[in-house]
């Protein structure tokens, strides 16, 4: 039932165009291109980070450092008895005095970005941190926003936003909303 209830919000062509638009906004908004670095929030943001990296290389005609930041131990939903699965952080560059673009597919409550900010500060003090997301679905619980947004999407709190995204442009890329009732809630 969940598969038939999903509503397509953005197809592959629009996803690709939107990613390129976000990349242009990042390039235009970066104070110093030489100090720009991209950081994926965990593995979930990595396909978008790679796509933005690809687009920025074309726009800026240079490579932008790309890293992955694990936020598991910085989440506020861990309990004393939980056994969190710790991921890998790969920041093969310094972030001191850099403009860091934190990248995730969707911003919802703001708690993931908050955890990413806490984790990032363990690696240094950047001059500027901005967030880039493909979808902002609202329902914030913290006063956190994304600076670069592909799509603002009105959702019900129990809806799921499903982003299918490959590291390279693909015909399978899509954004869908699955109503909470269709997921059995």
pLDDT of the residue at 70? 95
Q: Which residues contact 22 (CB under 8 A, 6 or more apart)?
A: 52, 55, 132, 134, 148, 149, 150
Please report which helix (H) or strand (E) contains residue 51, including its range. Answer: helix 46-60
Digit-coded pLDDT (tens) for 16-70 = 999 999 999 999 987 788 899 999 999 999 999 999 999 999 999 999 999 999 9
Digit-coded pLDDT (tens) for 91-126 = 999 999 999 999 999 999 999 999 999 999 999 999
Q: Is 112 helix (H, G, I), strand (E, B) or coil?
A: helix
Q: Which residues contact 36 (CB under 8 A, 6 or more apart)?
A: 26, 30, 56, 64, 98, 99, 101
pLDDT of the residue at 2? 40
Comparison of pLDDT for 152 and 5, the residue scoring more = 152
Global pTM value: 0.89
Average pLDDT value for the chain: 91
Nearest in space to 120 (alpha carbons), one of 140, 141, 96: 96
């Amino acid at each position: 039932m969940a598969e038939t209830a999903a509503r397509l919000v953005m197809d592959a062509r629009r996803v690709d165009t939107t990613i390129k638009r976000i990349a242009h906004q990042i390039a235009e908004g970066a104070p110093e291109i030489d100090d720009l670095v991209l950081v994926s929030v965990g593995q979930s943001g990595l396909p978008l980070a790679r796509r933005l990296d690809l687009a920025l290389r074309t726009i800026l005609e240079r490579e932008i450092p790309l890293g992955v930041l694990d936020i598991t131990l910085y989440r506020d939903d861990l309990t004393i008895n939980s056994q969190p699965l710790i991921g890998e952080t790969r920041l093969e560059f310094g972030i001191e005095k850099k403009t860091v673009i934190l990248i995730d597919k969707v911003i919802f409550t703001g708690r993931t970005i908050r955890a990413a900010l806490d984790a990032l500060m363990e690696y240094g003090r950047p001059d500027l941190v901005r967030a880039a997301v493909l979808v902002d679905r609202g329902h914030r619980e913290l006063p956190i926003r994304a600076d670069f947004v592909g799509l603002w999407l009105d959702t019900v709190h129990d809806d799921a936003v499903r982003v299918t995204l490959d590291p390279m442009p693909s015909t399978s890329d899509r954004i869908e909303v699955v109503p909470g009732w269709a997921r059995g809630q």
